[in-house]
């Protein structure tokens, strides 16, 4: 048996009672923290609360050579992830691999950032379109800095269809956690090079440390929000399309958006 458990948003206490029970009954527990991390916790704290040893898996253990899956043929194995399980495509791939190995699987869900951003910002969940990720720039073999334009294209497409865009921010073992400020800088750079003012005139919503006792939620025009200090990670970004009047009121009252956001709807 292989049980996938979503740990929730911020620390070891976000796990559900079902998840905790499954951990107590497990023969072995694995966790991966490259798709998301619990910024209010660490493996030691998790082990203290859960009462079990936890084994950290690297990216290659998940995507390239998941030999540990063989243990689930005859043992009760638990696989932990931040947020909600199965949100990441790589976790779906693991479940399909388990299926091909005739390993039974079970899902125990946790709180997801995809729904948390709606609660924190007041944006309506059914108005979100395709999500995207802003990756860190990289240097090509020719020594040129490459900035992905895919997130910008996603924002523009969603806006044209009246849909909000949830933008995940890159986590890199060398470059660290991308901030809202860095993501906005990259998006605005793409718009500038294209001579396109879609982002310049857009409202943006930045959220930091969702699930903690004191999350930061701030909305402003993208060019102004770029200077706001969101503090420690994890950060996430939303670029709303045209706002419903309740959404506009929520952004003003809950996220400190400029008053003219409300006046414009």
Predicted pLDDT of residue 174: 87
Q: What is the CATH number of the domain that holds 54?
A: 3.40.1010.10
Predicted pLDDT of residue 259: 94
Residues 105 and 121 in one domain: no
Alpha-carbon distances, residue 93 vs 19, 46, 63, 69, 85 (angstroms): 21, 26, 8, 12, 12
Predicted pLDDT of residue 144: 81
**CA triple 230-235-236, angle to 5 deg:** 120
Residues 89 and 210 in one domain: no
Predicted pLDDT of residue 146: 86
- Write down which residue in 79, 111, 143 finishes a domain: 111
Residues 86 and 205 in one domain: no
Residues 97 and 190 in one domain: no
- Write down which residue in 73, 92, 111 finishes a domain: 111
Predicted pLDDT of residue 263: 82
Residues 43 and 161 in one domain: no
Backbone phi, psi, residue 61, to 5°: -70, -20
Q: What is the CATH number of the domain that holds 226?
A: 3.30.950.10
Instruction: Read off the tokens for 192.
Output: 């500038």
Predicted pLDDT of residue 198: 84
- Write down which residue in 111, 126, 161 finishes a domain: 111
Domain housing 256: 114-263
Mean pLDDT per 10-residue interval, the chain, length 265 residues = 97 97 97 92 96 94 93 97 91 95 97 96 97 92 88 96 97 92 96 88 96 97 96 97 96 96 82
Alpha-carbon distances, residue 154 vs 49, 108, 151, 198, 246 (angstroms): 40, 30, 5, 12, 24
């Amino acid at each position: 048996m292989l049980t996938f458990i979503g740990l929730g948003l911020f620390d070891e206490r976000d796990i559900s009672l079902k998840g905790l029970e499954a951990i107590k009954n497990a023969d072995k527990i694995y966790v991966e923290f490259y798709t998301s991390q619990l910024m209010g916790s660490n493996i030691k704290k998790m082990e203290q609360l859960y009462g079990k040893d936890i084994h950290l898996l690297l990216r290659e253990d998940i995507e390239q050579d998941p030999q540990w899956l063989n243990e689930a043929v005859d043992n009760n194995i638990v696989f932990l992830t931040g947020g909600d399980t199965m949100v990441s495509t790589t976790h779906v791939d693991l479940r399909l691999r388990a299926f091909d190995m005739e390993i039974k699987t079970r899902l125990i869900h946790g709180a997801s950032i995809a729904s948390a951003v709606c609660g924190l910002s007041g944006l309506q969940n059914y108005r979100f379109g395709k999500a995207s990720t802003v990756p860190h720039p990289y240097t090509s073999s020719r020594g040129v800095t490459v900035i992905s334009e895919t997130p910008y294209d996603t924002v523009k497409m969603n806006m044209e269809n009246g849909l909000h865009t949830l933008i995940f921010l890159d986590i890199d073992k060398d470059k660290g956690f991308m901030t809202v400020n860095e993501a906005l800088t990259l998006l605005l750079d793409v718009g500038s090079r294209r001579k396109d003012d879609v982002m310049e005139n857009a409202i943006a919503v930045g959220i930091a440390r969702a699930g903690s006792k004191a999350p930061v939620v701030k909305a402003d025009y993208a060019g102004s929000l770029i200077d706001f200090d969101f503090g420690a990670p994890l950060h996430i970004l939303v670029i709303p399309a045209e706002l419903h009047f309740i959404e506009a009121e929520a952004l003003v009252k809950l996220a400190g958006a400029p008053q003219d956001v409300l006046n414009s709807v």
